[in-house]
Amino acid sequence: MPLDWSPFVALVERHQRFLLTAHIRPDGDALGSLLALADGLEAKGKTVQAAIASSIPPRYDFLDPEKRVVPFRAPGDEYRHAEVVVVLDTGTWNQLGDFGALLKAHAGPRVVIDHHLTQDDLGATRFVDTKAEACGRLAYDALTALGAPIGPKTAERLLVALGMDTGWFRHQNTSPATFDLASRLVAAGAVPTRIYELLFEQNSLGRVRLTGLVLSRMEVLHAGRIAITEVRRGDYEATGATPQDSEDLVNYTRSIAGVEVGLFLLEQPRGGVKVSFRSRDAVDVSRLAERFGGGGHRLASGAIVDAPLADVRARVLAAVQAAIDASLP
């Protein structure tokens, strides 16, 4: 059943100042959805601020040439006059980073627009559809409900959101409705060839070198059913890459024939390990991610574990092995 956006429309009509955020280490879906919604709110005459408690990947600079989305820095006093806070593409505290403290202190309305299974109680009105292939679809639906215009730049942002969360229309969450929405966005002015080139054919030399290092560390375990690789803290300096250059590298783990679950371990600069899970079909990795304090989708999830890399590797592998064994006939 489609979401009822009338409460959101009423909320927008009653308020003037909006603060938008998304999950840390934002991807194309998070940034595209946030920027598109900002476009629509501003078209309705609203004042919009946008901040994420993370650096913004340079890969997406073309989406935000005015640098409207800025890295959030605690305590965030410059945002305290916002009447409404809108959280996009996540519904969990651990994905908000330092922004979480400001959200907890916010006395006004809170809104979550998301499509992930894992949801915490953020004290928000939720517009969550776990069947949506991308948060970008929900952003499109919100804009449509508001009667906001969707011009070429907004359409481009939404197409990035839609394309990135469907693996450029090749993942299982892609449906005829996905292509229908893509068609509408192209008709509104989005140019797929330009977007694809900017996203996938403008790699830095550092990212290419980091990719090679990640591939050289790839291991296939548990009778060929698990592929795992990692990025260590010193790898960025060694390759000339940045942490943002690791985006999408997890997909190589699931590209190996016979692999059921792919794992990508990313040692964090300030400690801990980000674990990305990818499943072919048999294992629901959102349940695995939840065991480590994270979440996501059935076939694509993640978690951040506050422990040394070797310890995280051992614990995650044991959990994945058990889940695979339980899935076997």
Residue 58 CA to residue 74 CA, distance in Å, equals 22
Return mean pLDDT, the chain. Answer: 95
pLDDT at 118: 86
Backbone angles phi, psi at 253, to 5 degrees: -65, -35
Write down the pLDDT at residue 186: 98
pLDDT of residue 183: 98
Class (C level, CATH) for 6-199: alpha beta
Other beta carbons within 10 angstroms of residue 185's beta carbon come to 27
pLDDT tens digits, residue range 117-170? 889 999 999 999 999 999 999 999 999 999 999 999 999 999 999 999 999 998
* CA-CA-CA-CA torsion sign (69, 104, 88, 197): positive
pLDDT of the residue at 252: 95
Angle at CA of residue 25, ends 24 and 28, nearest 5°: 110
Q: Please state, in angstroms and as integers, the Cα–Cα distance from residue 211 to each residue in 65, 202, 236, 268, 292, following that order.
A: 27, 14, 11, 17, 26
DSSP lists the bridge partners of residue 112 as 87, 126
The whole-number pLDDT of residue 282 equals 87
The domain defined by 205-327 carries CATH number 3.40.50.150: no
Check residue 328 and give its pLDDT: 85
Q: Consecutive 10-residue runs of the chain (329 residues): their mean pLDDT?
A: 93 98 95 98 98 92 95 95 97 94 96 94 97 97 98 98 95 95 98 95 94 97 97 95 90 95 93 94 92 90 94 97 92
Q: What pLDDT was estimated at residue 214?
A: 97
pLDDT of residue 269: 82
Contact 90, 77 (CB under 8 A): no
Residues 248 and 170: their CA atoms lie apart, in Å, by: 14
**What's the CA gap between 166 and 145, in Å, rounded?**
24
Q: What's the rounded Cα separation, in Å, for the pair 59 and 202?
A: 8
Provide the token pair at 58.
């340079």
DSSP string across 116-158:
-S-----SSEEEE-TT-S-HHHHHHHHHHHHT----HHHHHHH
pLDDT at 248: 87
Q: List the beta bridge partners of residue 134.
A: none
Task: Dump pLDDT digits (tens) for 251-294.
Answer: 999 999 999 999 999 998 888 999 999 999 889 999 999 999 99
Q: What is the DSSP string of 161-202?
A: HHHHHTTTTTSTT--HHHHHHHHHHHHTT--HHHHHHHHHS-
The residues spanned by each domain of the chain are 6-199, 205-327
Task: Note the pTM of the prediction, 2 decimals.
Answer: 0.86
Q: What is the pLDDT of residue 247?
A: 87
Residue 183, CA distances (Å) to 39, 75, 156, 189 in order: 20, 42, 12, 10
Side-chain half-sphere exposure of 249, counting CA atoms within 13 A: 28
Burial (CB < 10 A; 0-12, 13-18, 19+), residue 198, is middle
Tokens 């422990």: give the residue.
307
> Is-same-fold flag (6-199; 205-327)?
no
Please tell me the predicted confidence (pLDDT) of residue 189. Answer: 98
